[in-house]
Structure 1
Amino acid sequence: MQTPQPKVSFKEQMHQAREDAILQSTCRLLSDKAYDAMTMDDVAQAVGIAKASLYKHFCSKEELCCAAMVQILGRLRTFLDSLAPEQPPLDKLQALVRWSLQRLLAHEMPLLPSRNSSLRAVLMANPSYLEGLVAVSDQVGQWITQAQAQGVLDPSLPPLVVLYTLYARACDPVVGFLKEGGQHSDEEIIALVLRTCFQGLAAR
């Protein structure tokens, strides 16, 4: 017999709902501008709350953005775990890129912090983020080596190069350029980026 879960108070529900809204708005802002350009005022205005209320949830911009990065990484892990084990490794890698591009087009994918960003130092010191990043990298790395062994990915490429190339699609500027051009639907943009990513530019 399962132990009944403790009832969450209305106040706690509202607190969690507001925190979710804060993180969602932060992801959107981080997808549209660099971390250094985003301010806590921007977030408070996007959520529609007072800046003082924002600080009741997160004491600094670094803590807030770190929480947003941890959340999106958790969503990615949930997605990867949902893929069928029998699915070919190349299909899983393409599904990963497709998921990232969908989030990017929906302004739900935070831009990766640059090496000289203060956010990167905060992320590297966050156990939850590091644990999630290592878990995702190990899982994706395994699929890469399997796909290379099957001959469907170039086995001469170091797996780490392939991994970083796939990660880079999550902040690919080509997506934004095509979206602004208005000549392609979101699904067409995803298909084009997947094609150039996995098939290259050489004529077949």
Structure 2
Amino acid sequence: MSRPTWHERQRQFREDAILDAAYDLMLEQSYADMSMDELAARVGISKATLYQHFASKEDLAVNVIVRSMQRTEEEIRSVDPALPAIDQLKQAMQRGIERKANTWATRMMVMPTTVVQHPRFQAQHQHMMAEIAKLVEAAKSEGDVVNDIPTPVIVKALSSLFRNDYEEALRASCCSPQQFSKALVSIMFDGIRTGREAKEALGQD
């Protein structure tokens, strides 16, 4: 494979800068309120140059969201594969939720249907769900997850944790995103009958 040319590297650098700035703007405002003029000004390029990289605001949003999802998937893949599958699943969920909680990415989730139904978004979403399903199936085979509950139901329940709004809960709980995500995963996997693990996660013991 040939090395990218200087112009190709420059183009990729500029595209990454656009995506970073768009991500920040979508967190600060929302998809609806973000303007391409403001984005171009923040990156320091013309609006015409911006449209050379992304054909539309919708196309830009899809790329921002897909890249964010890919980074969440990288968090899932970074878990130690030597751990039991149930512990891999716990750590993967905790890292993904913590990443979302760290950005309080509520506004990022308010997207028009055209973005959510975009083929690239759907493909990345399905890929992430497949990775989680693999861990669930492995945990079932190791005897740590009940076989009576269909894997798609478990995956759907777990994936819902990535879509929730945690900003208000984080403000009210007075704990760090790491503590919050650990407690939330503890509740999901271990229940709340004694609350011991949730309390430990919040540093209350």
TMscore range, shorter length = 0.7 to 0.9
Answer whether contact 2:94 2:181 (CA < 8 A) is retained.
Answer: yes
| Between 64-73 and 34-43, the greater mean CA deviation after superposition | 34-43
What is the aligned partner in structure 1 of residue 189 from structure 2?
198
Aligned residue pair count: 194
| Match among 39, 46, 50 for residue 43 of structure 1 | 39
| Match among 125, 148, 163 for residue 155 of structure 2 | 163
CA distance in 2 between counterparts of 1:181 and 1:45 reads: 36
One-letter identity of the residue aligned with 1:13: R
Answer whether contact 2:102 2:177 (CA < 8 A) is retained.
Answer: no
Answer whether contact 1:32 1:107 (CA < 8 A) is retained.
Answer: no
One-letter identity of the residue aligned with 2:13: A
Query: Are 2:30 and 1:6 equivalent residues in the alignment?
Result: no
Distance apart, 1:60 and its partner CA: 0.4
Change (3 A) 1:52 1:150: same
One-letter identity of the residue aligned with 2:92: L
CA distance in 1 between counterparts of 2:69 and 2:35 reads: 22
Change (3 A) 1:81 1:183: closer
One-letter identity of the residue aligned with 1:6: R
One-letter identity of the residue aligned with 2:144: V
Q: How does 1:32-71 map to 2 (within 5 A)?
A: 34-71=30-67
Change (3 A) 1:187 1:16: same
Q: Aligned-residue CA RMSD in angstroms?
A: 3.1
One-letter identity of the residue aligned with 1:86: A
CA distance in 2 between counterparts of 1:44 and 1:202 reads: 52
SS of residue in 2 equivalent to 1:162:
helix
What is the aligned partner in structure 2 of residue 153 from structure 1?
145
One-letter identity of the residue aligned with 1:203: T
What is the aligned partner in structure 1 of residue 203 from structure 2?
none
Change (3 A) 1:54 1:186: same
Sequence identity (%): 22
Uncovered stretches (5+) of structure 1, i.e. residues with no partner: none
Q: Deviations over 1:136-163 (max 9, x none)?
A: 3222112112323444334433322221
What is the aligned partner in structure 2 of residue 24 from structure 1?
20
Answer whether contact 1:100 1:169 (CA < 8 A) is retained.
Answer: no
